[in-house]
Amino acid sequence: MLDERTPISAGLGVDRSPEPAEAEHSALLGQIARGELSVTPQKSSNGQRSPGPGIQEQPLLSARFGADRIRDIRRQIGVLARRAGLSTHRADDFTVAVNEIMTNAIRHGGGVGRLYVWRTAALECEVRDDGPGFDVVPHLTRTSPPEPTSVGGMGLWVARRLCDTMSISSGSSGTVTRVSISVPLAAPPTG
């Protein structure tokens, strides 16, 4: 039994390769027609795919990134996290987690990635890359940190520990990683 903060959310044993937006949209429409799904993805006003099925909100941030943009995007994530209502500590957690996932997308996913941030009851981020994919199970089931002498493996473990939820779908056409941190409800006015 895992004693982690973060629930494991992965299609274990299922290759859930990210598909181009049009193919994914068609597949989702088929699921809706069969009654298997009750929501549809939306496209933003500029025609770009909004993050993930069922996310109706316009992204607060949508960006394509490479190593040259990671610093600027990390700064933007920190600002968005604080504006969304996260404490400084939780905003820093979210920023570090997203930074680790972006770094993985650059290092293992072809050098570039796409990032979407939106707010529902949580502040959520999705990072997509077009890399060769990897086995997600060891990264989502690990209960202790990688050995300090190991090469790699620390970034996803750190991201998972810092966020409330993490899911990873990975296959031969890329990886989609999502993290979220719950946003506290605003306190009712006093007096």
Closest CA to 98 of 84, 118, 117: 117
Q: Show the domains of the chain with their CATH numbers.
A: 46-182 (3.30.565.10)
Q: Residues 145-178: pLDDT tens digits?
A: 888 888 777 899 999 999 999 999 999 999 999 9
Whether 43 has a pLDDT exceeding 60, the answer reads: no
d(C-alpha 104, C-alpha 111), whole Å: 9
Give the model's pLDDT for residue 55.
Answer: 53
Closest by CA position to 156, among listed 120, 84, 88, 108: 108
53: pLDDT confidence band, cut at 50, 70 and 90?
Answer: very low
Q: How do residues 105-131 score in pLDDT, each as one tens digit?
A: 999 999 999 999 999 889 999 999 999
Which one, of 126, 118, 100, 134, lies nearest residue 17 by Cα? 134
- DSSP state for residue 106 in the 8-state scheme: H
DSSP string across 8-66? EE--TT-------HHHHHHHHHHHHHTTS------B-TTSPBPSSTT--SPPSEEEEE-
**Cα separation, 134 vs 185, whole angstroms:** 37
Q: Record the pTM.
A: 0.69
